[in-house]
Amino acid sequence: MDRQKQRMTLTAAAMLVPLMAACGSEKADSGSGSVGGGKPVTGVRWSVDSVTADGRTQKAPTGAHMTIDKGRAEGSLGCNNFSAEATVDGDRVRLGKTRSTEMACENKPMEFETTLARTVSDQELKAEVDDDRLTLTTDGGDTVQLTRAKDAPLAGTKWTVTTPDADGRAHLTFDEKKGTVSGSLGCNKVNAKATVRDGHITVGRPATTRMMCEDSLMDVEKKLLRIFDGELKYGVDHQTLTLTSENGTSVRAVAER
């Protein structure tokens, strides 16, 4: 990215803070957390699908989401994270004192972030829930479309390892039918037996290729190999998988879209 383009991107990101900081100061209260028919709005992770403002609809980037719970709203605008005090009263939702990070992200539509921030900030929104879909509508008719986010399945998902950091090269996939886990340790391929039961995974001795790579990747491989040939605790939170071995080794991975 050349310097001029980088300055423009940083400026676009910086615009989010004053837009969102302009929210009202009324006291937050979680309220009932439900709309007509007792359908919950709070305590649910909602993936943002799109925002329609000034007659134009913009599709949300992957990762944009929002959760309203215990008087707080938190989530991601697509690149930058945000948090705010939140008031829920019947089918009315209002965010206040909203703050966002100021990261400049490549290949992310900063215009979408600005539009979403402007649409939900300093507004009283009408909430309508239809099955797994939530629509937030401003008094001016602008809308945000959201869908209830679901946890990625453990089996069949390609999990890209983020901790330890292998620069996106390490990944694991569990096959429930075959009873195996396979993938890459960052350099070498790996395969092992894997039985999933009651929140635990029993992993067998790993079979790997024998290539030599740069030292950093080999260090990552050594760490990842510690989760094999034993029992793992696992947990899936939306698109994030956490594996913890009996020897204390912890691995985090995200679902590849």
For residue 35, what pLDDT band results from cuts at 50, 70 and 90? Answer: low
3-state secondary structure of 5: helix
Least confident range from 21-25, 30-34, 74-78, 129-133: namely: 21-25
User: What's 60's DSSP letter?
Assistant: P
How crowded is residue 220: how many other Cβ atoms within 10 Å of its Cβ? Answer: 22
Mean pLDDT of 59-68: 89
Residue whose token pair is 């008094």: 139
Model pLDDT, residue 57: 97
Pairing of the two strands 240-245 and 230-237: antiparallel
**pLDDT(169) > 90:** yes
Percentage of the residues of the chain whose pLDDT score is greater than 70 = 83
At residue 107 the predicted structure's pLDDT band, cuts being 50, 70 and 90, is low
Rounded-to-integer distance, Cα 187 and Cα 64, Å: 31
- pTM metric for this prediction: 0.59
Question: Distance (Å, rounded) from C-alpha 196 to C-alpha 117?
Answer: 42
Span between the terminal Cα atoms of the chain, in Å: 25
Give tens-digit pLDDT for 140-167. 999 999 999 888 999 999 999 999 998 8
State the pLDDT at residue 37: 53
Please compute, for residue 159, the number of CA atoms within 13 A of its CA located in the half-sphere on the CB side: 29
Quick one: pLDDT at residue 19?
Answer: 38
Q: What are phi and psi of 80, to 5 degrees?
A: -85, 140
CA angle 53, 59, 62 (to 5 degrees): 135
Pairwise CA distance, residues 72 & 84, whole Å: 6
Return the beta strands (E) in the chain as ranges: 34-35, 39-40, 45-53, 56-59, 65-69, 72-76, 81-89, 92-100, 124-130, 133-137, 143-148, 158-163, 170-175, 180-185, 189-197, 200-203, 207-208, 230-237, 240-245, 250-255
pLDDT at 7 over 50: no
Comparing 53-62, 90-99, 122-131, which segment has the lowest mean pLDDT?
90-99
> How high is the mean pLDDT of the chain?
84
Is the per-residue pLDDT at 67 higher than 50? Answer: yes
Give the pLDDT score at 105.
73
Q: Give the tens place of pLDDT for each residue, 172-213.
A: 999 999 999 999 999 999 999 999 998 899 999 999 999 998
**How far is 115 from 52, CA to CA, in rounded Å?**
9
pLDDT in tens, 121-139: 888 999 999 989 999 999 9
Q: What average pLDDT does the segment 63-72 reach?
A: 90
Would you state the structure tokens that stand for residue 108, as one six-digit string?
Answer: 């992310």
H helices present in 16-89, as ranges = 16-21
Answer for the pair 75, 81: CB distance below 8 angstroms, yes or no: yes
Q: Looking at residues 1-13, what average pLDDT do you find? A: 42
